[in-house]
Chain A
Amino acid sequence: MAVDKDTVARIAKLARIRIPEEQQEALTGELTEILNWVEQLSELDTEGVEPMTSVVAMTLPQRQDVVTDGDCADKVLKNAPEGAHGFFAVPKVVE
């Protein structure tokens, strides 16, 4: 599978990573190589094998429905570049 320059630009945009034009060409090669490497896995015959979703032999632990957390707005907002009246304040986003 080969990745072209448009795909690199699109993936970068979806991930909100700015990749200058001149670096995109090099990345097409690198990403293509990674994908080809992973693609070797498809040489294995997995017919009739259930996909493995976890490597640990346990099920999802569940917790009781009890309020044990929160009430720490100061901690939550501590690293916010900007806050006001207990809210995060961000550049206006209006649809």
Chain B
Amino acid sequence: MTIIEGKTGPWEMVIGLEVHAQVIANSKLFSGAATAFGAEPNSQVSLVDAAMPGMLPVINEMAVEQAIKTGLGLNAKINLFSEFERKNYFYADLPQGYQISQFLHPIVGEGTIILDLEDGKTREVGIERLHLEQDAGKSLHDQHPTMSYIDLNRSGVTLMEIVSKPDMRSAEEAGAYLRKLRSILRYLGTCDGNMDEGSMRADVNLSMRRPGDPLGTRTETKNVNSIRFVQQSIELEARRQVAILEEGGTIDQETRLFDASKGTSRSMRSKEEAHDYRYFPDPDLLPLNVDADWVESLKKDLPELPDAKKQRFMDEFGLPVYDAGVLVADQETAAFYETIAKGRDPKLAANWVIGEYFGALNRTSGANLTNAPVDATKLGGLIDLIADGTISGRTAKEVFEAMWDSGKDAGAIVEEKGLKQISDTGALEGVIDQLITDNPGQVEQYQGGNVKLIGWFVGQVMKATQGKANPGMVNQLLKKKLD
């Protein structure tokens, strides 16, 4: 919980999020037109999506299946009976004059989501509901001085609106909620979660109150399209509301628009009157009855979800909570890690994946797990060389850089560059004896009590062997000879 210290005392923010998630399906919610992103304008529009008179909607079973799977992934109640209603409003990108949505009887009821916070703690946030609805078309306002251009390709694509309870208390928690929700949707394969393509969008409901007081009046900031912007808009709106409240003013319940480029927000007054949506059951659609057996079979086929995987990584591999959380954030990373951890030291594997490997991925533009020059087998091979003492951890970093640049195996690079660690006692003893003979002064100081000088000796051995000496053995041998 974040408390904002105002001039007149502390304030607490209360945040609820409504997320619109585009469902992964080949065709639309009520028509057989395609859904792929980036097609030619109006090429993926059926006469149903264009709302031509006499056209009738027929529901896509995949849309229903995806909503149920998402509900199950959110530990939510699946409503076997649900209904579609018309939400009436006029806008240029909504040819029907209404959106087919669910109001009184959504397909999914209450559930929960567990947030992973930065300090490793977790926090539970309630899900109020999830319902199915149609997306609207897309307007382009910058192509012509006096006209807006409308593309209906997105019109009728299936959306899940996922509504949280007002359980979040800081921008950090809102960010953690969106990251976790996105992670669950991606694991389930029900939404790709790409906020920059608009397939996941968030509306932020926020109000302020004195700690312990009842809820204050909220505002809704619409369509914020990145996690960072959601957090910025929350900080901004909280400060705006506190300023008004501390001057003795009241908050208008209104819809606001966040301008990310300016870092400001403004009221969308035109939306206010349209808020009277006059919902009524869509006479073109019968109630949706879902078979309980179907729900059960979908439940059985759910993949292992992030929370369960995180717990397993902690139990099975002994990973700390932070490492486990990072590795399970997406499914591909988790699978990549598991491939490497299998039959190896799991903590060493985790350190390499999170440290060097993620570092290299971040440094290399366009690189991801599937196209990176070092794959799981190669990284595993490198870790094997550390484990069997062929190279030191420090040399391994150098080998890794070379692997990343060349795509070669760790073994080949070690061979090529002659980086094999010297673990041969005889060879190392020779170097150490020479060192002792050449530096009687340092030997005397060390034996006189300056034990810190051991570091200098180790350094000299490393220098003499171009860093290839096994550091553990060097320490051991030095102590044997000097003490």
Measured CB to CB, the residues of A under 8 A from B are 13-14, 16, 53-54, 56, 58-73, 75-77, 82, 84-95
Contacts and interface: CB of A to CB of B under 8 A. Distances in A.
B47 A85 contact: no
B32 A68 contact: yes
Interface string B45-87: 1111110000000111111100000000000000000010000
B150 A88 contact: yes
Majority secondary structure, A binding face = loop
A95 B60 CA distance: 33
A9 B270 CA distance: 17
A95 B141 CA distance: 10
Contacts of B147: 82, 84, 89-92
A63 B59 contact: yes
Contact of B40 (A14, A65, A73): A73
13 contacts: A53-B281, A59-B288, A62-B60, A62-B61, A65-B60, A70-B34, A75-B47, A76-B47, A76-B50, A86-B40, A87-B151, A93-B148, A94-B141
B376 to A, nearest CB: 33
B42, B59, B147 — most chain A CB neighbours (10 Å): B42
B149 A95 contact: no
Contacts of B26: 65-67
Contacts of A95: 257, 268, 270-271
A69 B140 contact: no
Contacts of A56: 286
Interface stretch (B7-15, B88-96, B162-170, B342-350): B88-96
Going nearest first, the 5 A-B pairs with the smallest beta carbon separation are A70-B33, A68-B32, A65-B62, A87-B149, A69-B32
Contact of A89 (B47, B60, B144, B152): B144
A93 B139 contact: yes
A94 B140 CA distance: 10
Contacts of A54: 286-287
A37 B391 CA distance: 90
Contact of B61 (A64, A77, A89): A64
Contact of A77 (B42, B63, B92): B42
A8 to B, nearest CB: 14
A93 B150 CA distance: 10
Nearest to A84: B149
Interface of B: 25-27, 31-34, 40-50, 58-64, 83, 88, 90-92, 139-141, 143-144, 146-152, 257, 268, 270-271, 273-274, 276, 278, 281, 285-289
A63 B149 contact: no
A91 B146 contact: yes
A59 B290 CA distance: 10
A62, A66, A67, A91 — most chain B CB neighbours (10 Å): A67
A51 B63 CA distance: 26
Contacts of B146: 91-92
Contacts of B148: 89-94
A85 B287 CA distance: 40
B287 A59 contact: yes
A58 B149 CA distance: 41
Given A61-B58, A67-B26, A91-B147, A13 B273 contact: yes
A67 B42 contact: no
A22 to B, nearest CB: 24
B43 A70 contact: yes
Contacts of B88: 14
Contacts of B47: 69, 72, 75-76
Contacts of B63: 65
Contacts of B140: 87
Nearest to B64: A62
Contact of B31 (A60, A69, A88, A91): A69
Contact of B32 (A63, A73, A77): A63
Nearest to B45: A76
Contacts of A90: 92, 147-148, 150
Given A62-B60, A95-B257, A84 B33 contact: no
Contacts of A63: 32, 58-61
Nearest to B266: A95
B307 to A, nearest CB: 29
A58 to B, nearest CB: 7
Given A62-B58, A62-B59, A87-B149, 4 more contacts: A54-B286, A60-B287, A65-B25, A92-B141
B289 A60 contact: yes
A90 B60 CA distance: 31
A87 B42 contact: yes
Nearest to A79: B52
A65 B66 CA distance: 11
Contacts of A72: 45-47
B149 A59 contact: no
A56, A60, A68, A92 — most chain B CB neighbours (10 Å): A60
B151 A60 contact: no
A28 to B, nearest CB: 19
Contacts of A16: 90
Nearest to B268: A95
Contacts of B274: 14
Nearest to B105: A53
Given A64-B61, A90-B148, A53 B27 contact: no
